Amino acid sequence: MKIRYKATLIMLGAILIVSIASGYAYYKMNLNLIHEGMQKNLQTVLATIQANIEFKSSQAESLASLVVNQPEIQQAVKERNREKLIQIITPALDIQKEKYGEVDAQFHLPGAISFLRVYKPKIWGDDLSTTRELVLISQTQRRPLKGVEISTTGVSIKGIAVMEDKQGFIGTFEVGESFQSVLENVKQITGFETAAFVNHALMTQIATAAPPAEKDRIIGGYQNIFATNWTVFQEIITPQMMNEVNESIVKTEEVNGQFDGIVILPLLDFNGKNIGSMWAVGDFSKYQQALRTNTIVSIAITLLQAVILSAIVLIIFNALYFLPIDHIVTCSEQINEGKTTQVESELARWMNRKDEIGSLANTIQKLNQKIRGQHSDQSK
């Protein structure tokens, strides 16, 4: 095989290796950027869920604290004047309800006795000490609390404050906000479908006034209390997955041909106890398309780079080395055949070069002249 072909194959191999390495580096760089984008999106959804729960909890606690510090409300509780409390508190709660969705409120007497459910005034006087841990702890420890709680009517976000004056402890007051509003807010902000699941045994034991759960909404011992789109979660969640939620999880998964981003986090009550989980699922088709496009573009760049570099290198090497060497080899063959006069002009084309090609042309020219001199002497 001629050296020009050997050299060409070596160069093309080297160019192909460099092009593949460069294309792979481009592919990995974009792949990392896409995965970072997915993770950032999922972490944003996770933070949004947590922030919404914290906001609702703090809002409920702030409102409860504001109410218990009103002297006229303290006096009405001390006088056991339920009608007066309704007149005072209802307008403010109605405003909250209009702004932030479903709101509930309840006054408790010492001993965790329900004194007034503002929106259900006919139900009162019941002992909450065995069913309402939030109320019991707040009254026992004389401190405000906030967070998620299972109550007789279901799951809600609570804020409770202690009511007391100079004479001592009067009772407690709590504000409850709908847990459903958190899920709806998250969907509105992020576009992700959301759902919440709570331990079915706890719901059966405590939420006695809540509607019973539908059988198809109980998965792995956890019942769905609300979902913005139940069908989405039916296709994703299994009993095993439900029972493995011990920490926050963000991941991607292909479900029925659709690439989804999934966020899962434990649902903790006000006391830090794991009572269930929250889920958010969003369509990540745009990222899947980005991954496919990245693969196609990386391959195209690799091939295009290989073709362009090969063309440039071959043109340069052909002009600088392969063509001159071919001509010089041809001249050498002609000299060997005794055609010494025909090669001088051809060799002269390369003799002025200041590299190995020029040296080789000069050497062969000198050899040619020497041979011609010997032929001239012999002819004499």
List domains and CATH numbers for the chain. Answer: 26-51+181-289 (3.30.450), 58-178 (3.30.450.20), 291-379 (no CATH)
Could you tell me the pLDDT band of residue 342, with boundaries at 50, 70 and 90? low
Strand order from edge to edge, sheet including 113-117: 113-117, 103-109, 168-178, 154-165, 145-151
Cα 279 to Cα 266: distance, rounded to the nearest angstrom: 9
Higher model confidence: residue 6 or residue 250? 250
Evaluated on CA atoms 243, 246, 248, 250, the torsion sign reads: negative
Q: Which two structure tokens, joined as six digits, stand for 104? A: 């509930």
Cα 190 to Cα 45: distance, rounded to the nearest angstrom: 6
Query: Which pLDDT score is estimated for 376?
Result: 58
CB of 228 closer than 8 Å to CB of 193:
yes
Question: Hey, how many other C-beta atoms are within 10 angstroms of the C-beta on 380?
Answer: 4
Query: Which pLDDT score is estimated for 379?
Result: 56
Burial of 136 (0-12, 13-18, 19+ CB in 10 A): middle
pLDDT (tens digit per residue) in 91-145: 888 887 777 666 889 999 999 999 999 888 898 999 999 889 999 999 999 999 9
Cα 154 to Cα 160: distance, rounded to the nearest angstrom: 17
Query: Which pLDDT score is estimated for 100?
Result: 67
- Report the chain's mean pLDDT, rounded to a whole number: 86
Cα 159 to Cα 173: distance, rounded to the nearest angstrom: 8
Could you tell me the pLDDT band of residue 287, with boundaries at 50, 70 and 90? confident
CB of 250 closer than 8 Å to CB of 281:
no
CB of 220 closer than 8 Å to CB of 243:
yes
Cα 322 to Cα 318: distance, rounded to the nearest angstrom: 5
Cα 370 to Cα 348: distance, rounded to the nearest angstrom: 16
Task: Find which of 27-36, 186-195, 249-258, 370-379 is predicted with most confidence, using mean pLDDT.
Answer: 186-195
Of the candidate ranges 17-31, 125-139, 157-171, the one whose mean pLDDT is the lowest:
17-31
Report residue 155: phi and psi, to 5°.
Answer: -100, 130
Could you tell me the pLDDT band of residue 11, with boundaries at 50, 70 and 90? confident
Average pLDDT of the segment spanning 369-374: 70
**Under 8 Å CB-to-CB from 250, ≥6 apart: which residues?**
39, 42, 43, 45, 46, 261, 262, 263, 264
Query: Which pLDDT score is estimated for 354?
Result: 76
Query: Which pLDDT score is estimated for 157?
Result: 93
**Percent of the chain scored above 70 by pLDDT?**
91
First-last CA distance in the chain: 43
Query: Which pLDDT score is estimated for 12?
Result: 81
Beta bridge partners of 4: none
Cα 26 to Cα 18: distance, rounded to the nearest angstrom: 12
pLDDT (tens digit per residue) in 213-264: 889 999 999 999 999 999 999 888 989 988 888 899 999 888 777 889 999 9
pLDDT (tens digit per residue) in 353-370: 777 777 877 787 777 777
Query: Which pLDDT score is estimated for 282?
Result: 93
pLDDT (tens digit per residue) in 46-103: 999 999 999 999 999 999 999 999 999 999 999 999 999 999 988 888 887 777 666 8
